[in-house]
Amino acid sequence: DGGITQSPKYLFRKEGQNVTLSCEQNLNHDAMYWYRQDPGQGLRLIYYSQIVNDFQKGDIAEGYSVSREKKESFPLTVTSAQKNPTAFYLCASSIEGARNQPQHFGDGTRLSIL
Amino acid sequence: AQSVTQLDSQVPVFEEAPVELRCNYSSSVSVYLFWYVQYPNQGLQLLLKYLSGSTLVESINGFEAEFNKSQTSFHLRKPSVHISDTAEYFCAVSGGYQKVTFGTGTKLQVIP
């Protein structure tokens, strides 16, 4: 079955540590997205990528970094510069350029501070 | 710029009662509209979408939504809810060259 796989499901970060969240898709989608979800705030876009080796900042990119070396993979690194990283992180993908197509989501990674 | 407003953060409703979850949007261009559902500790799943044509769209599990252009609304309804409908529901809008915008979500709590 095609879909999006996020790992790990739960992640803990120590002070000053960088952590990387994995996102892999086998839907053959060009576009991929990272969202942060906090209670009562909906989904906020961190970064998105429309094609391999290219990505753009979303609304809350500070303290985060991404790479897109393969079409299937879009890992997110939460750096030590992100002072409030505790949140639920969702990865999504979609057909690029098709505004009438929905996004497909992974099951998320919950990040907490130790 | 486009935006989505879900005024109700939580909606409690008794089992087998009807429910309406409200969604209003703002956009200067034609839009596509979506409702997603999120169960605890899971990602979002598409519930239904309005692209064009009939303003009333339905999902396979009994939900329906009506696109009202004059009122810029896309409210979600179900005539009789079940315990398993307890979840958070997100409205989303996509239009023009902008990325999709999600609302802040409405938590539906079905009371036995």
Q: CA A81, CA A90: separation in Å to the nearest integer?
A: 20
Rounded to a whole number, what is the distance in Å from the CA of B57 to chain A's nearest CA?
Answer: 14
Search chain A and give the residue with CA nearest B39. Answer: A107
* pLDDT one-digit tens code per residue, A4-54: 999 999 999 888 899 999 999 999 999 999 999 998 888 999 999 999 999
Rounded to a whole number, what is the distance in Å from the CA of B60 to chain A's nearest CA?
Answer: 17
Phi, psi of B84 (to 5 degrees): -70, -10
* pLDDT one-digit tens code per residue, B28-42: 888 899 999 999 989
Strand duo A10-13 + A109-113: pairing: parallel
- Residue whose tokens read 């497909």: A104
Judged by DSSP in three states, B84 sits in: helix
Which of A9, A40, A103 lies nearest to residue B100, judging by beta carbons?
Answer: A103
Which of A48, A103, A108 lies nearest to residue B42, judging by beta carbons?
Answer: A108
